């Protein structure tokens, strides 16, 4: 399922199209063996930290960690240009979502996002 993510406020409105990873297999596969695309992951309730890797991801991507379960959400951490075949990376700030972005990313910590 595709989702539209809106950055709001600060005069920097932007829409980001992303695929929503809903099933276990979608979450496990992520960007592996795929073409560049954006994917939004919902972390399991009570789980605020998520380890990721970039094995079999053949292009760089950014990891955008987002907090807030209801209504508006806020970017809490951005890791830019994760290279292919990185063994392990984990967020340092608690988050509820992970947005893996392969397109140009101008999101910054503190940006407010919303989607339905």
User: Which 3 state secondary structure label does DSSP give 102?
Assistant: coil
* DSSP annotation string for 62-88: EEEEEE-SSS-EEEEEEEEEEPTT---
CA 24 to chain centre: 16
Mean pLDDT of 58-78: 92
Neighbouring-strand partners of residue 86? none
pLDDT at 51 over 70: yes
> Mean pLDDT over residues 57-67, rounded?
97
Domain residue limits, the chain: 2-107
Question: What's the confidence (pLDDT) of residue 76?
Answer: 96
Taking the CA atoms of 115, 91, 93 and 109 in sequence, report the sign of the dihedral they define.
Answer: negative
19 — pLDDT class (breaks 50, 70, 90): very high
pLDDT winner (highest mean) among 24-28, 46-50, 53-57, 72-76: 53-57
36-75 core/surface letters (b: 16 or more CB in 10 A; e: else): eebbbbebeeeeeebebebeebeeebbbbbbbbeeeebeb
- pTM summary value: 0.92
pLDDT in the model for residue 95: 95
CATH number for the region 2-107 comes to 2.60.120.1140
């Amino acid at each position: 399922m595709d989702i539209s993510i809106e950055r709001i406020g600060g005069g920097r409105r932007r829409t980001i199209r992303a695929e929503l990873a809903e099933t276990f297999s979608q979450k496990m596969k992520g960007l592996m063996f795929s073409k560049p695309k954006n994917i939004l992951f919902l972390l399991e309730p009570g789980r605020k930290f998520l380890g990721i890797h970039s094995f079999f991801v053949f292009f760089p991507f950014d990891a955008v960690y987002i907090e807030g379960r209801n209504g508006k959400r806020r970017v809490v951490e951005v890791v830019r240009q994760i290279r292919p075949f990185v063994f392990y990376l984990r967020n340092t700030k608690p988050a509820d979502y992970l947005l893996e972005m392969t397109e140009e990313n101008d999101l910054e910590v503190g940006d407010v996002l919303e989607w339905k």
